[in-house]
Amino acid sequence: MAKLVMLMVLCILPAIAMAAPRPRIGKNTLVVQGITYCDTCKFGFETAESSYTVPGATVKLVCRDRKTMKELYTDVATSNRHGKYMFVVHEDHKDEMCDVMLVKSSDKGCSKISKGREQSRVILNHYNGIASQIRHANNMGFEKDVSDVFCSELIKKYQEMATVVSHHLISSIASPHSPSNSKASLFPKEPFNLPIKFRQNRFKIEATTASQTPVLDPLLSPSKTTPHKKKSNEASLILIRHGESLWNEKNLFTGCVDVPLTEKGVAEAIQAGKRISTIPVDLIFTSSLIRAQMTAMLAMTQHRCKKVPIILHDENEKAQTWSHVFSEETRKQSIPVVAAWQLNERMYGELQGLNKEETAERYGTQQVHEWRRSYHIPPPKGESLEMCAERAVAYFEDNIQPELALGNNVLIAAHGNSLRSIIMYLDKLTSQEVTSLELSTGLPLLYIFKDRKFMRRGSPVGPTEAGVYAYTKVQLN
């Protein structure tokens, strides 16, 4: 009998021990998850070659009053052996500003908190439209006091990659015309980084000399000296959601209202630029809204190419003529920026300008959730995500994907819903999956276009695994 009791105890105790750590997730419970890592080379981003997760790191969750910045809630957690940590929050923090931040590393060899990766904003309320109870914090990193010996070789490798692409672009600025039926050969005599929409029907008189002799647009003048080089068979696609806007800060529905960035949004855009500074950019596409354009412009001030982004105007012939650049050397040091309304944020109709919390109290949390996250249901006199996707994806297919096919590296600075629509197309997500897709402001997402396929490379500031900056499926471990 004693042996039987002992056997039962031995069988039951492990089950109890395994079940004990699992959090109880009720209807109103929110779970915050994230990862701590070590940046061995001080790159400011994670790669498989230069980073590893940090177990036993201490992290802190803090929620503050949005106006007074007084701390209203705090909690502390420790990362597990996989470098993952978790907070279980049993209350709704409504309009509070909540951040997860690094406190201390358990790795003495990697204990310095990495600037710019020391904290992550999380939303801990039920009226923001996020269907899942899981809230993902961006990965946070420590760095070593002294970089590993192999880091210089890695930096050299990345710089060489950027140099090769840069030389390729310069040599491709102009090349002799050779008749062909292929789409790529229609424009060999024009600058490699001029968008397709601006390459067509441009043989016209731009100005006259003092003797009234017509001068052809030098943009289209074929070079007789520069040999034609084969373009790269792959291209980079960088997606950036604009930084925090003034109405984001005030917790108002923004939609297509043209609101600029806050001071924090400006800082987010600059930080995003630092994170993509070594990735080549030939063309930039933004929405017609100032917050997206500011994000693109500010990000490029940090790029190592030091080229100047210039917004192209095609509203009419006069706009094209008056904004024409006549210096070939200046054009080589410029990056064209195309602003398109099709990449605008979803139009929120009668919700625009309303406080999100007050709207939820007025119409009910469930109704606001449907307006914000349903794929098919639009808010009053506004757009559904489906309607937004129709215009954004069509523009991407017609104007951006052909550039990638020609080998141009593209940066898109846009908005949460227009980018979600494009990611839905790139990752072949269903309408159900895209409703739980969440993008952080000011953090880049990288894709490689090769052999007519899009391959996600995670983010220049995060691991390549899905579920970091754009995610659809979550598992609690």
How does 158-180 read in b/e, with b if 16+ C-beta sit within 10 Å? eeeebeebeebbeebbbbeeeee
In sequence order, what E strands does 220-259 have? Answer: 234-241
Structure tokens at 9: 């105890």
Instruction: Give the per-residue pLDDT at 54.
Output: 92
End-to-end CA distance of the chain: 38
Give SS3 for 315: coil
Spatial separation of the C-alpha atoms in residues 148 and 159, rounded to whole Å: 18
CATH class for domain 234-456?
alpha beta
The verdict on whether 303 is a catalytic residue reads: no
46, 268, 345, 403: the active-site residue: 345
Give 29-143's CATH code, choosing from 2.40.110.10, 2.60.40.10, 1.10.150.120, 3.90.1170.50: 2.60.40.10
Q: Stretch 217-234: mean pLDDT, rounded?
A: 40
In sequence order, what E strands does 95-223 have? Answer: 97-104, 112-113, 119-122, 134-136, 140-143, 205-208, 214-216
242, 268, 383, 415: the active-site residue: 242
pTM of the model: 0.56
Q: What is the pLDDT of residues 270-321, one digit of tens each?
A: 999 999 999 999 999 999 999 999 999 999 999 999 999 999 987 788 888 8
Delimit the domains of the chain by residue range. Answer: 29-143, 234-456
Structure tokens at 24: 């109880």
How many residues are listed for the chain in this entry?
477
Q: What is the pLDDT of residues 76-105, one digit of tens each?
A: 999 999 999 999 998 888 888 899 999 999
Mean pLDDT of the residues in the chain: 77
Distant-in-sequence contacts of 61-64, Cβ < 8 A, 24+ apart: 61/32, 61/87, 61/89, 61/98, 61/99, 61/100, 61/122, 62/98, 62/99, 62/101, 63/93, 63/96, 63/97, 63/98, 63/99, 63/124, 64/96, 64/97, 64/98
The verdict on whether 242 is a catalytic residue reads: yes
Instruction: Give the per-residue pLDDT at 8.
Output: 56
Instruction: Give the per-residue pLDDT at 204.
Output: 30
- Do residues 192 and 408 lie in contact, with contact meaning Cβ atoms separated by under 8 Å? yes
Q: Tell me if domain 29-143 and domain 234-456 are identical in fold.
A: no
pLDDT band at 347 (very low <50, low <70, confident <90, very high): very high
Residue, of 35 and 180, whose pLDDT is higher: 35
